Structure 1
Amino acid sequence: MELVEDAPKRGSNIKVIGVGGGGGNAIDSMIEDGIDGVQFISANTDAQALASNHAEVKIQLGVERTRGLGAGANPTVGQEAAQESATQIQEYLKQSDMVFVTAGMGGGTGTGAAPVIASLARQQGALTVGVVTKPFKFEGGRRRKQAEEGIERLKKCVDTLITIPNERLRTVAGEQMSLVDSFKMANSVLVNAVRAISSLITRKGLVNLDFADVATVMTQKGFALMGTGAGEGEKRAIKAAEEAINSPLLDNVTIDGAASILVNITGPSNITLDEVAEAMDLIEEAADENANIIFGVAIDDDADIVKITIVATEFKNRDDAKDEAMAANASTSGLFATAPQTGNFFNAPSAMPPVGAPNYGSAPIYQDTLSSGNYPPADLARRMQEYDAQSDNLYNNKGRQSVSYAPAPMPDIFAPMSGAPSSVANPSVASPSVAKVVESASVDRAPMPDNSLDNLLPDEDEIDNKPAYLRRNSSKRNFLDI
């Protein structure tokens, strides 16, 4: 298991690290498929599975923690194993320009270790892209729940996260597809996602892109969705574009809600300019009029087929539009949302409020801050509306009772998962909470960390040096604790 020091000399240094069993299977498929210009790394807690993997670099995670026996479908074990091997992982990811982290979410190693590995890649300064699958429904509720929790953690540790909902592949597979073939199809989608993005940088084509082009679309973009299509015969490029735009993998979201779109067109050497232009015209018509669309065209003479892959980022669908309207109403109706969490490996600058955000979830957000149109994150506004609906039987409409709700803590990759103890020390992150406060309400507040809100505090010279955020009846500001 020696580190290969000679990364690809041409262009960017791109690495693909498969985490856990699903990620390792994807690595093997990529090697078999002939994806070139990238270095493959397999990381697993299962020593036996790792030994059979074909990656040129192999990392056994958590030698002391798991003794090579796997994570037992426990994400906490996977997380701790990756933390134990952090120094080794960092060594392998040195000088990377771009790192793909691929895994099947829902198990132990992939779910627990992928966020840790992704955060280490970003520490190295690499553009980090997560490409993961969500379990089939038949894999069980526990696995699906673990997958969702892992995805929430992972999305805070990558620049862009592509999630592939395996269940939606059933609409493509048909009723007669075998179980083995269904997992192979899910694996092939992972492979195609990595190939589509990496080949734009590594392969020469009719229209070339460089690393900076791809980084423009994928740096700090959050969730992304991918659509693929293929066409042959007459109007093959248009067929491929239509199929990609309407791909089941887009999960009922159209690309007209995406602010940035990356398009990979691959076809034989006889592909014409008109074919490319027609396909791009169709994609442009389907996209937002202000979307930043970057595309590349690569040549593959293995088949007389045109393949198109669309990676759409900075999504805004209909639900988001409703949430935006709700958030806008919040600025005049007294509804507010919590500031996003920040930390060593959380990066969401586009969502930051206009005042400095604390390193934990709960902070006073002032009414006059948002009245200028800087609205809170829309999903939290929606959450607050749901809480309001649920609390109708508890809330005193006459204005003298306040009811507060505390959802589960937002995940921290260095915090223990599911409340289990961790062998690695980690900073604590307080959970965000939502409170509905009516005029003159009395609110009990939990102690706040010392000096954590220095940059948020108003003047303290009015009431016996008491911080303004503790004033219950300030005439200067109306406030909500959230």
Structure 2
Amino acid sequence: MKPKSSMPDGEGAPRAAAGRRAPAEKRVRIKVIGIGGAGVNAIDRLVQDGFDQVGLLAINTDSQALTNCMVADKLQIGDRITHGLGAGGDPDVGRQAAIEDAEAIEEAVRGYDLIFIAAGLGGGTGTGASPVIAKAARAQGALVLALVTLPFVYEGKPRERVAQGGLAALQDAADAVICIANDKLYDLAGEEASVQQGFAPTDAFLSGGVRKIWRMLTFTGLINIDFADLRAVLRRRGGETLIGFGDGAGSDKVARAIEGAFGSPLLSDPEVLRRAECALVAVTHGPDFKMSQYGEMMKTVNEKLGPQAACKLGPIVDEDCQDQVSLLIIASTGKPIESAASRSGRTLDGAIQTSSLNPTAPSHAFARGKGKFQQGVLNLNEVSRGAFEGADRTVVDGEDLDLPTFIRRNVQLRQR
């Protein structure tokens, strides 16, 4: 089954925002790819929600599972290896299946600016194929954001080790990886939830996150958050990518939206939040939303993220919201990845490089008004693994031991 064309046409938006929508030829082109059983189940939720503003593609080695999928565009990979019967929980089979159909995958990811990858780690297809597909998408110029889940504790150590190996490979291949433990999502569902209800929070998290990011990038707000801002937050060295969102209505809508956003699995750990280096804060509200309510919301956000986080606020006025507000937070604890131009402190046209989300000082920053150079910071990060490029990484307790300690722990080495 080869994919049909699924370029988003931008029509039939679930809400008409007061902010102007970008012209069709300049809109961010987004595609969501579900890989393996868990990934395909997750993007089915977008179909159920009636959201058709992005391209959707289901990829699997299991032909029967693809047949039952609600997504229109489907790609079965590795037929010569698996004969359509799945990867049998072997990530090497999943990886080879993706390599077998590399040309079809490259065609499926071509022409998009932002690609979401949804997968469950610990099995065969999602664990093995996701890094190959992420790498192909980046090679086509897309910004790649992966949303993956880790196995339940009761699934055992072997499956956890497989998942951690797949996570390390995906972190190498994608621009950013949002990783959620299934046990955290189980806590959200509650002990009395059925098995089907237990997995629902994962699908809802993906669907809600995609829809809110789409709205943030599609509509021009009072202060615009654009694709370059998103790229500056996601393309960073080391650290974690965090996302949370919440909605509120009525007299306590601000408190409810904040509670929902910071109650999200990835924003609920205060220690991780305090390490955030930068964040995008998108707020969608009705025309009567007050400045005092903005102040209340941003005060809480800044307190939770800490003083070192560079935040950009993007308000969007939606006349259909009326007495409602929606809050989306995307943050990163990683350090900026500097280009050759930014390492010299200048852009390609010679201008000094500045950015509110990705501030990069020259390696020898000239002290303003002092006539001397300040001590700079060496930019040391992994560029290539040389002869070990294709080898499996050594991952222990979620930590990649192949990376030097100063990179894993974001230690800055100063120039003398």
With the length of structure 1 as denominator, give the TM-score of the two structures.
Answer: 0.63
Q: Sort the Cα spacing of 1:122 and 1:375 in 2 relative to 1 into closer, same or farther, 3 A.
A: closer
CA–CA separation in structure 2 for the residues paired with 1:41 and 1:164: 22
Aligned to 2:367: none
CA–CA separation in structure 2 for the residues paired with 1:417 and 1:373: 28
Aligned to 2:354: none
CA–CA separation in structure 2 for the residues paired with 1:106 and 1:42: 19
Aligned to 1:213: 229
Aligned to 2:54: 38
Aligned to 2:206: 190
Instruction: After superposing the two structures, state which structure 1 stretch, 122-131 or 32-41, moved more.
Output: 32-41
CA–CA separation in structure 1 for the residues paired with 2:301 and 2:404: 41
Indicate whether 1:285 and 2:303 are aligned. yes
CA displacement, residues 111-145 of structure 1 (integer Å, 9 cap, x when unaligned): 11000000000101111111111122233332222
CA displacement, residues 411-434 of structure 1 (integer Å, 9 cap, x when unaligned): 97855799xxxxxxxxxxxx9599
Aligned to 2:258: 241
Indicate whether 1:314 and 2:315 are aligned. no
CA–CA separation in structure 1 for the residues paired with 2:188 and 2:387: 33
Q: Sort the Cα spacing of 1:24 and 1:170 in 2 relative to 1 into closer, same or farther, 3 A.
A: closer
CA displacement, residues 368-411 of structure 1 (integer Å, 9 cap, x when unaligned): xxx9975978xxxxxxxxxxxxxxxxxxxxxxxxxxxxxxx999
Considering Cα pairs closer than 8 Å and 6+ residues apart, tell me whether 1 or 2 has the greater RCO: 2
CA–CA separation in structure 1 for the residues paired with 2:77 and 2:402: 32
Q: Sort the Cα spacing of 1:432 and 1:314 in 2 relative to 1 into closer, same or farther, 3 A.
A: closer
Indicate whether 1:227 and 2:244 are aligned. yes
Gaps of 5+ in 1: 317-353, 355-370, 378-408, 419-430, 436-482
Shift of 1:150: 0.8
Instruction: After superposing the two structures, state which structure 1 stretch, 255-264 or 63-72, moved more.
Output: 255-264
Q: Sort the Cα spacing of 1:19 and 1:248 in 2 relative to 1 into closer, same or farther, 3 A.
A: closer
Q: Sort the Cα spacing of 1:267 and 1:51 in 2 relative to 1 into closer, same or farther, 3 A.
A: farther
* Conserved 8 A contact 1:37-1:202: no
Q: Sort the Cα spacing of 1:213 and 1:275 in 2 relative to 1 into closer, same or farther, 3 A.
A: same
Aligned to 1:150: 166
Shift of 1:238: 3.0
Supply the AA of the counterpart residue of 2:302.
E
CA displacement, residues 37-62 of structure 1 (integer Å, 9 cap, x when unaligned): 31111111011111222323211111
Shift of 1:188: 1.3
Aligned to 1:256: 274
CA–CA separation in structure 2 for the residues paired with 1:53 and 1:303: 36
CA–CA separation in structure 1 for the residues paired with 2:278 and 2:105: 31
Aligned to 1:446: none
CA displacement, residues 436-476 of structure 1 (integer Å, 9 cap, x when unaligned): xxxxxxxxxxxxxxxxxxxxxxxxxxxxxxxxxxxxxxxxx
CA–CA separation in structure 2 for the residues paired with 1:255 and 1:433: 24
CA–CA separation in structure 2 for the residues paired with 1:63 and 1:413: 27
Selected match of 1:276 from 288, 294, 301: 294
Aligned to 2:134: 118
Aligned to 1:23: 39
* Conserved 8 A contact 1:153-1:412: no
Aligned to 1:73: 89
CA–CA separation in structure 1 for the residues paired with 2:77 and 2:307: 46
Q: Sort the Cα spacing of 1:49 and 1:139 in 2 relative to 1 into closer, same or farther, 3 A.
A: same
Aligned to 2:197: 181
Q: Determine what percentage of the aligned residue pairs are the same residue.
A: 37
Supply the AA of the counterpart residue of 1:173.
A
> Alignment length, in residue pairs?
341
Q: Sort the Cα spacing of 1:300 and 1:264 in 2 relative to 1 into closer, same or farther, 3 A.
A: farther
Aligned to 1:86: 102
Q: How does 1:272-421 map to 2 (within 5 A)?
A: 272-298=290-316, 299=318, 301=320, 305-315=324-334, 374=378, 414-415=390-391
Larger radius of gyration: 1
Shift of 1:220: 3.5
Instruction: After superposing the two structures, state which structure 1 stretch, 236-245 or 146-155, moved more.
Output: 236-245
* Conserved 8 A contact 2:7-2:54: no
Supply the AA of the counterpart residue of 2:305.
A
* Conserved 8 A contact 1:226-1:312: yes
Any idea what SS the aligned residue of 1:70 has?
A: coil
CA–CA separation in structure 2 for the residues paired with 1:64 and 1:302: 51
Shift of 1:169: 2.3
Instruction: After superposing the two structures, state which structure 1 stretch, 191-200 or 146-155, moved more.
Output: 191-200
CA displacement, residues 262-316 of structure 1 (integer Å, 9 cap, x when unaligned): 2233445554443233212321232232322233345384795433232211359
CA–CA separation in structure 2 for the residues paired with 1:411 and 1:193: 38
CA–CA separation in structure 2 for the residues paired with 1:26 and 1:6: 20
Instruction: After superposing the two structures, state which structure 1 stretch, 150-159 or 46-55, moved more.
Output: 46-55
Instruction: After superposing the two structures, state which structure 1 stretch, 170-179 or 106-115, moved more.
Output: 170-179
Any idea what SS the aligned residue of 2:118 has?
A: strand
* Conserved 8 A contact 1:238-1:282: no
Indicate whether 1:135 and 2:151 are aligned. yes
Q: How does 1:443-454 map to 2 (within 5 A)?
A: none
Q: Sort the Cα spacing of 1:261 and 1:433 in 2 relative to 1 into closer, same or farther, 3 A.
A: closer
The CA RMSD over aligned residues, in Å, is 3.4
